[in-house]
């Protein structure tokens, strides 16, 4: 994105932004998650120190329970669900902001009746997440 522009939104998709897989699939680690990179990332024009992504979790879906040394700054845009933060489940709704501090085990879950969509900002230079086990069953394993 080397020139200034407006990326039009419609139904949580953005003009010119690809909807990608969340991660390489690993059985049971996550379910029904897509990723859109709104700014930064490999395709970006000028260097940025961050990436701005939008993740969407289908009803009943969840992200990987994981931890890493970098932080997440999250703002919920749509739906309801919960975030697991170091052993606690907290309900989230639009426009709650979630601060995931470094090395905190975390996982996002959508409610069963609507998608959960959220922006997530991270540093461009960051470590790889470490998955913390199969988490299809709620509440198993946080270490």
Query: Exactly one of 65, 120, 122, 132 is catalytic; which is it?
Result: 120
Extended strands (E) in 18-136 = 20-21, 31-39, 50-62, 66-67, 72-78, 81-85, 88-92, 97-100, 106-110, 116-123, 130-131
The minimum distance between CB 17 and a copy of itself, in angstroms, equals 8
Single residue of 19, 20, 99, 139 touching a copy of itself by CB under 8 A:
99
DSSP symbols for 33-52: EEEEEEE-STT-SS--SEEE
Task: Provide the pairing of β-strand 13-14 with 116-123.
Answer: unpaired
The interface region with a copy of itself, picked from 19-27, 107-115, 122-130, 134-142 by CB under 8 A, is 122-130
Residue range at the interface with a copy of itself (CB under 8 A); choices 22-30, 58-66, 115-123, 135-143: 115-123
Instruction: Determine whether 97 is an active site residue.
Output: no
Q: What's the CA gap between 66 and 75, in Å, rounded? A: 19
Residues 18-37 that bind a copy of itself (CB under 8 A): none
> Do residues 119 and 112 lie in contact, with contact meaning Cβ atoms separated by under 8 Å?
no
Bridge partner residues of 75 (DSSP)? 97, 119
Alpha carbons 58 and 133: distance in angstroms, whole number: 21
77 binds a copy of itself (CB under 8 A): yes
Task: Kindly state whether residue 134 participates in binding a copy of itself, applying the rule CB under 8 A.
Answer: no
Which residues have a catalytic role annotated?
120
Site residues (vs a copy of itself, CB under 8 A): 1-9, 12, 14, 17, 38-40, 45-46, 48-50, 52, 71, 73, 75-77, 83, 85-86, 90, 92-102, 104, 106, 119, 121, 123-125
């Amino acid at each position: 994105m080397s020139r200034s522009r407006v990326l039009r939104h419609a139904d949580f998709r953005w003009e010119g932004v690809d909807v990608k897989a969340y991660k390489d699939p690993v059985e049971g680690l996550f379910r029904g998650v897509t990723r859109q990179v709104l700014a930064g990332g490999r395709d970006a024009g000028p260097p940025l120190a961050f990436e701005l992504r939008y993740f969407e979790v289908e009803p009943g879906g969840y992200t990987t329970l994981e931890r890493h040394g970098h932080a997440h700054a999250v703002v919920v845009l749509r739906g309801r669900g919960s975030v697991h933060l170091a052993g606690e489940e907290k309900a989230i709704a639009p426009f709650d902001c979630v601060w995931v501090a470094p090395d905190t085990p975390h996982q996002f879950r959508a409610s069963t009746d609507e998608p959960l969509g959220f922006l997530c900002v991270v540093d461009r230079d960051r470590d790889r997440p470490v998955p913390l086990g199969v988490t299809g069953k709620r509440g198993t394993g946080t270490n």
